[in-house]
Amino acid sequence: MVFENLRNKMIGMLRERGISDPGLLAAMGRVERHKFVPPGLEHQAYDDKALPIGFGQTISHPYTVALMTETLNLKKGEKVLEIGTGSGYQAAILAELGAQVFTIEKITALGQRAKLLLEGLGYSFVSRIGDGTLGWQTYAPYDAVIITAGAPVLPESLLSQVKSEGRLIIPIGSRSEQMLKLYQKRNNEIIIQDIEFLKFVPLTGKQGW
């Protein structure tokens, strides 16, 4: 009950900050974010802040998750590749929205922990450990790709694995601050849109830092 109240407050905060997609707000109202944070931090899980999840990594702000997901404008059944599984929270939101979720994490212990948690919660998804900057050719192309770590440049392999009418969202910039960018493929063109400045942990790897 306590967590449900905190979750409702979080949904109110997301509305105030401009998130309006009813399906997304309902999904974020269902996912128990406190199960995705380390023991002892549960009561902070619904505050609008990033929290440490070990190995120098974080679970992103609820607002960041909401903004990135809303911007992707997903339809049920779409194939989505996430780079940076982290806690598994973003993957849970994507699965709640009815997406076919593929997710890659570079840090073995985090990827394994998220897999166990997501399986325990009954989500269906496909995950692996590895360098997500190279994408996941086996299941390509994807309707959408979401990169949840800050990149120095756009990893070309990821854009090449997006469907011809698909989209990709990625924070690009310095190690300390990035611009969230949306890439949309349309009629053989790529439309690039700046969304908002945010702060992410670095995307490491062959086409990262």
Active site residues: 60
State the distance between the two ends of the chain, measured CA to CA, in whole angstroms.
42
Taking the least distance from each CB to ligand SAM, the nearer of 106 and 115 is: 106
- Alpha-carbon distance values, 173 to 2, 69, 93, 159, 160 (Å): 38, 20, 25, 17, 20
| Contact flags string 5-44 toward ligand SAM, x per CB under 6 A | ----------------------------------------
| From 12-20, 56-64, 68-76, 159-167, span contacting ligand SAM (CB under 6 A) | 56-64
Helix (H, G, I), strand (E, B) or coil at 188: coil
Q: Is 157 in the site for ligand SAM (CB under 6 A)?
A: no
Q: Which of 110, 168, 169, 170 binds ligand SAM (CB under 6 A)?
A: 110
Q: Is 184 in the site for ligand SAM (CB under 6 A)?
A: no
Q: How far is the CB of 1 from ligand SAM (least distance, A)?
A: 25
DSSP alpha helix (H) spans, the chain: 2-16, 22-30, 62-72, 89-96, 108-120, 156-160
Number of residues that bind ligand SAM (CB under 6 A): 26
Q: Tell me how many helices (H) and strands (E) the chain has.
A: 6, 9
Q: Which residues bind ligand SAM (CB under 6 A)?
A: 57-60, 83-84, 86-87, 89-90, 104-107, 110, 131-133, 148-149, 200-201, 203-205, 208
